[in-house]
Amino acid sequence: MSGGRQQKGREAEELAAGFLAKQGLDVVARNVRCLLGEIDLVAWHGKTVVFVEVKSRFTRGYGTPQEMVSELKQKRLTRLAQWYLKKHGLLRQPARFDVVAIQFHEGEPVVTWIANAFPASE
């Protein structure tokens, strides 16, 4: 994987979207932005709307990628999800938050999918 941080992030999101599609999810949106921030991926898993945070690491330092989804980040993602559901008329749909963590070892990606990674938080 080459390029700067943004390029690496986009490539990690592509890997995550492909991985989730193989698991039966239908990725319907990427990099959804509003004033509150950005949702990496939005997918459907059956009748459930899935908000996906993609985290990647290219070095072994600083812990695992999934450890980088802090409580503050969870609160921000909850607000973003509420905005998205309201905007698209989906407030009655079940929803969840997943994390796709990608750790690169010698240039090869190791993908960890954590379904229902955390509850919605205020």
Residue 68 has a pLDDT of: 72
Stretch 73-95: mean pLDDT, rounded?
95
What mean pLDDT do residues 33-49 have? Answer: 95
- Give the integer Cα–Cα distance in Å for 6 and 99: 19
Residue the block writes with tokens 């559901």: 85
Contacts by 70-77, CB closer than 8 A, 24 or more apart: 71/121, 74/118, 74/121, 75/121, 75/122, 76/36, 76/37, 77/37, 77/39, 77/51, 77/53
Fold of 5-118: Trna Endonuclease; Chain: A, domain 1 (3.40.1350)
Residue 33 has pLDDT above 90, yes or no: yes
pLDDT of residue 111 exceeding 50, the answer is yes
Using the structure block, give the residue that is written with the tokens 């963590």.
Answer: 101
Look at residue 1 and tell me whether its pLDDT is greater than 50: no
- Please report, for the chain, the start and end positions of each structural domain, with discontinuous segments joined by +: 5-118
Average pLDDT of the segment spanning 64-68:
65
When pLDDT is averaged across residues 15-37 and rounded to a whole number, the result is: 95
